[in-house]
């Protein structure tokens, strides 16, 4: 399943490949994360491929980890949307909890942007689809809490799916989960060089995409997902994230001060100014200053993108 956290530890697990997990026939190892192993498998009952997310044996005895895993299952099972990876089943295998998920052939949106180098309009269109997944989740009182380009897949069928609601919680709750999973390579380097990054790992999310309230461990609401969404879209459009910092505290200070980094000159002209303004509001340090909801944000982003394209078309026609 694209988007799984491939690591050097895969080789060591190949010898331990189970023949089946529950009723699912295991085909191959797809990836290894901090608390789970991902297998590609076959569902003979429904004749379809699935991705199996199995809680690692060394973590299975931890009640908090099991509770988080089961919460992920319940969260995802509640969300039926074309842009959200489906969960088919939750069960146990030799004392380990597993999830059977929709298997998606494709690439993450990070990979897509880097490899395909799509046009600005295409990038915005794909992320609008991802944003609609968040909008649907928020309508169901669920936050993702770790939205980033590595957690969004573009399937070979052309459909965008958001995955890994492992950090999700009800918007009515206040619980937090610890995680070191899914750090991007750049953040892993930063963690190695700057232990200060660990200061906020105890709160859910990946530091570079976290809202200020998540960095500080304050109560959160869906506007934290909105912030992460805007960081992600900004990064896709401009090739770098809006707030500088090699540690969590440096990033948090930049957010708190509103120090949005000036985009590279070669990218600046290619993105409509109105699009940038929409994203800047979503990047506000205080959640009250962001968009009221993903619905308003997505509507404004779509309008800004269309207006920018029309302006360029008019300018091109005028220049001919």
User: Which position has the token pair 């994203």?
Assistant: 279
- Judge whether 129 and 155 are in contact, CB under 8 Å: no
Beta carbons within 8 Å of 154's beta carbon, 6+ residues apart: 106, 107, 108, 109, 112, 126, 160
**Catalytic residue (one of 5, 43, 146, 164):** 146
146 is catalytic: yes
- Judge whether 84 and 161 are in contact, CB under 8 Å: yes
**Cross-strand pairs, 20:** 25
Q: Could you give the CA distance from residue 109 to residue 130 in angstroms, rounded to a whole number?
A: 10
**Cross-strand pairs, 37:** 32, 54
- Judge whether 147 and 232 are in contact, CB under 8 Å: yes
- Per DSSP bridges, beta strands 152-155 and 20-21 are unpaired
Which residues are catalytic, by number?
A: 146
């Amino acid at each position: 399943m694209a988007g799984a956290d491939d690591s050097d530890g895969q080789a060591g697990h190949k010898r331990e490949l189970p023949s089946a997990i529950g009723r699912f026939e295991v085909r191959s190892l797809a990836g290894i994360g901090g608390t789970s192993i991902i297998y590609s498998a076959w569902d003979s009952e429904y004749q379809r491929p699935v991705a199996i997310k199995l809680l690692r044996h060394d973590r299975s005895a931890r009640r908090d980890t099991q509770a988080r895993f089961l919460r992920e299952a319940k969260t995802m099972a509640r969300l039926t949307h074309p842009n959200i990876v489906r969960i088919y089943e939750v069960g146990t295998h030799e004392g380990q909890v597993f999830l059977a998920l929709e298997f998606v052939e494709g690439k993450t949106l990070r990979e897509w942007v880097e490899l395909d180098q799509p046009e600005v309009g295409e990038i915005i269109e794909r992320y609008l689809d991802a944003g609609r997944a968040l909008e649907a989740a928020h309508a169901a009182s669920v936050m993702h809490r770790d939205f980033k380009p590595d957690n969004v897949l573009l399937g070979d069928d052309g459909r965008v799916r958001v995955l890994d609601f492992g950090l999700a919680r009800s918007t009515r709750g206040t619980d937090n989960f610890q995680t070191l999973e899914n750090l991007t390579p750049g953040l892993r380097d930063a963690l190695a060089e700057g232990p200060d990054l660990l200061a906020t790992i105890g709160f859910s999310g990946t530091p570079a995409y976290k809202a200020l309230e998540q960095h500080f461990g304050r109560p959160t609401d869906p506007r934290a997902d909105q912030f992460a969404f805007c960081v992600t879209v900004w990064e896709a459009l401009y090739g770098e994230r809006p707030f500088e910092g090699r540690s969590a505290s440096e990033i948090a200070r930049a957010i708190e001060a509103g120090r949005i980094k000036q985009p590279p000159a070669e990218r600046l002209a290619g993105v409509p100014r109105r699009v940038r303004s929409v994203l800047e509001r979503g990047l506000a340090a205080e959640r009250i200053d962001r968009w009221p909801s993903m619905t308003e944000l997505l509507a404004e982003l779509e309008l800004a993108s269309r207006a920018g394209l029309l302006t360029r078309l008019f300018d091109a026609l005028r220049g001919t």
